[in-house]
Amino acid sequence: MKAVVYDAPRSFTIREVPTPDPGPGEVRVRVRQTGICGTDLHIHNGKFFAEFPLTPGHELVGPVDALGDGTGDGTDGFRVGEFVSVNPNMNCGHCEYCRTGHPLLCANLKGLGTNWPGSFAEYVVVPANLVFSVDGIDPDTSVFTEPTACAMHGVETLSPRPGTSALVFGAGPTGLLLSQLIACGGAASVTVAASSAFKLKRAESLGIDTTFLMDRADLAGDAAKLKAASGGGYDIVVDATGSAAVSEQCVPLTRNGGTVMFYGVTEPEDLVSVSPYDVFRREITIKGSFAEINSFPAAIAALRTGRARTEGLITHRFPLDDYADALDALRSDRTVHKIIIEC
């Protein structure tokens, strides 16, 4: 089969590799398409737990191609041809965090396309317990299952109270999915702030209440305008940009007793300046939302019912052979919203 193979950070080729066979308890998926996201750029540069050699890719959808023993019997099994998505995260089950009910914090966490073979390939073999049926959902929608699951975990982490106000920095696909789910989770109003006018238009078309066009050269001025427009701040403020400079605006924009959530992937060395007195005096809660590990069923339900909408998010498609062009577009093309690699 054909696959993207990294030998080291920033060093990859598209080559023929052996097609994997599923063992007992495993399923082979013929990858129809895989989303590419900002995390894949971090992995390209050797960050975000990447281990080489590596085939990246973790946002996949495609039909079941072959079944290992014990994966295809009766109503609980899979069938060849059934369209599925794959949860890319697997915990070990025996470390301290797993044994105390925190599997996403697993000390030995494995990630499809991060430290075990991913889906920028024609086929991928995965444990059956990570496979979820998306039959009946348009593949252009079900390819968003993994980012929707991450957004669902973000909402679970926030637990928004009914009637709250929320501000989300970032109108990328994951930011817009998160914004929609915050609204469904009880928030009375959701504002999305971003520096891309066309992404904000997409936010409006997906039902976001209010949008704000940011000037990245004047974040302090933006923060002042947002605070004035909100009447003093927001109950929930989320950074979904991965920019430390944007993250720094979150606490001052949060209402007394409110919650800040860091959701975007920053660089490990990034630092944010926060006044501990301000956090203490106003009883601000600061949370992080890293990924997901058990949110796939809820995400698929949201995609099936339209609670999480994806219309218009896909703007670019590349064949697997043009993976390098897809990376370049993700880095530098301002017209990109979501890129799909067609395998």
Residue 53, pLDDT above cutoff 60: yes
Rounded mean pLDDT, 18-37: 97
Burial class (CB in 10 A: 0-12, 13-18, 19+), 75: exposed
Rounded mean pLDDT, 183-198: 96
Rounded mean pLDDT, 175-184: 97
Amino acid, res. 262: F
Is residue 9 classed as helix, strand or coil in its secondary structure?
A: coil
Burial class (CB in 10 A: 0-12, 13-18, 19+), 176: buried
**Beta strands 254-262 and 285-288, pairing class:** parallel
pLDDT of residue 127: 96
pLDDT of residue 142: 98
In angstroms, rounded to a whole number, what is the distance separating the alpha carbons of residues 83 and 97?
Answer: 33
**Under 8 Å between Cβ of 68 and 27:** yes
Rounded mean pLDDT, 173-189: 97
pLDDT digits (tens, 9 = 90+) for 136-146: 999 999 999 99
**Under 8 Å between Cβ of 41 and 331:** yes
pLDDT digits (tens, 9 = 90+) for 89-147: 999 999 999 999 999 999 999 999 999 999 999 999 999 999 999 999 999 999 999 99
| Sole residue written with tokens 């039909």 | 63
Residue 73, pLDDT above cutoff 90: no
pLDDT averaged over every residue in the chain:
96
State pTM to two decimals.
Answer: 0.96
Q: Report the C-alpha dihedral over residues 321, 327, 328, 333, rounded to 10 degrees.
A: 120
pLDDT digits (tens, 9 = 90+) for 275-295: 999 999 999 999 999 999 999
Residue 33, pLDDT above cutoff 70: yes
pLDDT digits (tens, 9 = 90+) for 244-276: 999 999 999 999 999 999 999 999 999 999 999
In angstroms, rounded to a whole number, what is the distance separating the alpha carbons of residues 90 and 292?
Answer: 10
User: What's 18's DSSP letter?
Assistant: P
Name the pLDDT band for 77 (thresholds 50, 70, 90).
confident
Rg (CA), the chain: 20
Rounded mean pLDDT, 182-199: 96
In angstroms, rounded to a whole number, what is the distance separating the alpha carbons of residues 184 and 51?
Answer: 37
Residue 74, pLDDT above cutoff 60: no
pLDDT digits (tens, 9 = 90+) for 60-69: 999 999 999 9
Render the burial of 126-151: b for 16+ CB within 10 Å, e for the rest: bbbebbbebeebebbbbbbbbbbbbb
Amino acid, res. 88: P
pLDDT of residue 75: 57
pLDDT of residue 72: 79
Rounded mean pLDDT, 211-226: 95
CA atoms within 13 A on the CB side of 184: 23
In angstroms, rounded to a whole number, what is the distance separating the alpha carbons of residues 23 and 45?
Answer: 32
What the chain holds in terms of domains, given with CATH numbers, is 2-144+313-342 (3.90.180.10), 150-288 (3.40.50.720)
pLDDT digits (tens, 9 = 90+) for 157-168: 999 999 999 999
